Amino acid sequence: MSMPVDSGLGVETPPETGTTFPHVDTLRAVGALAVLTTHVGFWSASYGTNGTVGALLARLDVGVALFFTLSGFLLSRGWLARAAVGRPAPGTGHYLWKRALRILPVYVVTATLALALVEANRGLGWGDRVATYLLASTLVDVSFPAGLTHMWSLAVELHFYLLLPLLMLIGVGRRLRTPRVVALLVVLTALSAWWHLSGAAWALGDSLVATPQWLVGYLDWFAVGIGLALASVLHEQGRGGRVVAALRSLAAQPGVCWLLAGSLLLIATTPLAGPLVLDPPTDAEALTKNLLYAAIGGLVVLPAVLREVPSHPTAYDRVLLHPVARHLGFTSYGLFCLHVPVLHLLTSTTAWDVFTVDFWPLWFATLAVSLVAAELAYRLVERPALRLKGRHPLARRRAGSAATASAPSTGTSAR
C-alpha cells in the first residue's frame, strides 16, 4: 500500500485516494462544481431565460454521471485486477466498512443540519426522518426533505455499493474472462434502457415514489466505469487487443475527449433530451439524456485512467495534477453534500429570493460558503473517520493476510 503524500497544501493525500490515477481526484471536484452550478442555475431561474447558457446550466447535472462512472471504475477495478492474476476477491466486510466510513459521517452531519435548520422540515414525522438517515427517502417518497433533495444520487451510490459484490461474483468470479464481464455490462445497460422506457412505470405505476431516481435507471453509468476498469486491467496484463488499443489511442488525446464530451452536452441541451426544467420527459427523451450522459462520463474519465502520463506534462496534466485542484477533489464530497443546505441558508438569511436572485452573486456566495464548509467537514469529519478503516475486525484480519502475500498490490483504491 502506498503511503499518503503531502498535497502541497499542508494536508496529506487521503488514504482512500487512488494514487495510480491521480487525475481522478480533480475530476471529483469537476463533478461537484457542476452539480453546485446547476442547482444555483435552478434557484436563480436561469435555465429558461439565458438561451444556450441557461440550457447548459440545466445540463450540468451531468456531474452525477461523472461521479457514477468514477465509482464504477474505482470500485470494480479491485475485483477485476485480483481476478486477472488469480488472487481472491476483496473481502466484502472490509469493502463495506470502508464505503460506510467514506460516505456516512459527512452525510449524517449534513442530514442533521438540514432537518434541524431548514424551515420546511419542521413538520416532518419520525418515519420521514428515519428514512432520511437511512438514505431511503426515494424508496418511500417522491424526494428527500428540503436541503437534501440532491441526495437521491448518494442513495443510488449506496445501493450500487451494496450490489457491487454480487455483480462481481456474477460477472467476474475467480478468473477474469472478458466475454463474461462484457455480458454483464450489456445486461446492466439493457436494464437501464428498459427502466427508462417502461420499467419505472411498470414497477409502481402512479405511486408517489421516485422510481426514476432508483439505481436500475443508472446502471449503465456505472457499467461505463466498469468497462473502463476492464480495459485498464486487460492493458496491464497485455491482453487488451484492438478495442483496448483504440480506447488508449483516444485517451492519449484528452483535448479530443473533452471536445467530444462538450459536443454531446450541447446535444443534450436540445429537445432530444427532454425539458430543461421540471416538466416530465417522454420515455424516449429520458433514455436519450441518460445515454448521452453515459457517453459524456466515459469520455471525461477515459484520459484520466487509460492514458500514460507523458514525461513532459501537457496542459491537461498541469491543470488536473495541480495541488490546489487535487485538494478540491479531496474536499469535493463535502462540497457536494453541503451546498444545497448552504443555498437554503443564503436565501433565508439575505434579501435574495428564490427564482428572482441573479445567478452570479448567488453562485459566488454559495461556492465560497460551501468551500469553507467542505474544508471543515474534510478536516473534522472525513479524515478522522477514514482513520478508522483498519478498526474493523475483518480489516485487521485481511491486513495480516496481505502482509504475508507475495502478489503485489495494484495500487488502486476507491475514492
For every residue of 52-112, DSSP letters joined together read HHHHHHHGGGHHHHHHHHHHHHHHHHHHHHHHHTTPPPPPHHHHHHHHHHHHHHHHHHHHH
Per-residue pLDDT at 200: 86
For residue 20, the model assigns a pLDDT of 80
Q: Which residue matches cell numbers 507475495? A: 406
Beta carbons within 10 angstroms of residue 79's beta carbon: 26
- Predicted TM-score of the model (pTM): 0.91
375-396 b/e (C-beta count within 10 Å ≥ 16 → b): bebbeebbbebbeebeebeebe
DSSP bridge partners of 12? 6
Nearest to 411 by CA among 74, 29, 64: 74
Instruction: Report the amino acid identity of residue 40.
Output: V
Does residue 351 sit in helix, strand or coil?
coil
pLDDT digit string, tens, across residues 254-289: 999 999 999 999 999 999 999 998 888 999 999 999
Between CA 57 and CA 39 the distance in angstroms is: 8
Q: Which residues of the chain have pLDDT under 70?
A: 1-19, 205-208, 392-415
C-alpha to C-alpha distance for 123 and 296, rounded to whole angstroms: 40
Cβ atoms of 317 and 22 within 8 Å: the answer is no
Alpha carbons 361 and 358: distance in angstroms, whole number: 6
Which phi and psi angles does 6 have, rounded to 5°? -75, 135
**How many Å apart are CA 298 and CA 72, to the nearest integer?**
11
Query: How far is Cα 32 from Cα 336, in angstroms, rounded to an integer?
Result: 5
Q: Which three cell numbers stand for residue 140?
A: 418511500
The span from the CA of 224 to the CA of 68, in Å, is 9
What pLDDT score does 376 carry?
A: 98
CB-CB contact of 66 with 301 (8 Å): yes
What pLDDT does 306 receive?
96
C-alpha cell at 115: 432537518
Residue 43: what pLDDT? 96
Q: How far apart are the first and last CA of the chain?
A: 15
Residue type for position 74:
L
Can you read off the three cell numbers belonging to residue 16?
A: 482512500
Distances in whole angstroms, Cα of residue 117 to Cα of each of 110, 190, 333, 342: 11, 42, 21, 11
Q: Please tell me what DSSP assigns to residue 206.
A: T
Q: Which of 177, 212, 182 is nearest to 197 (CA)?
A: 212
Select from 339, 346, 349 the least CA-distant residue to 361: 346
Please give the pLDDT value at position 14: 52
Given a contact cutoff of 8 angstroms between Cβ atoms, the answer to whether 146 and 118 are in contact is: yes
C-alpha cell at 376: 471543515
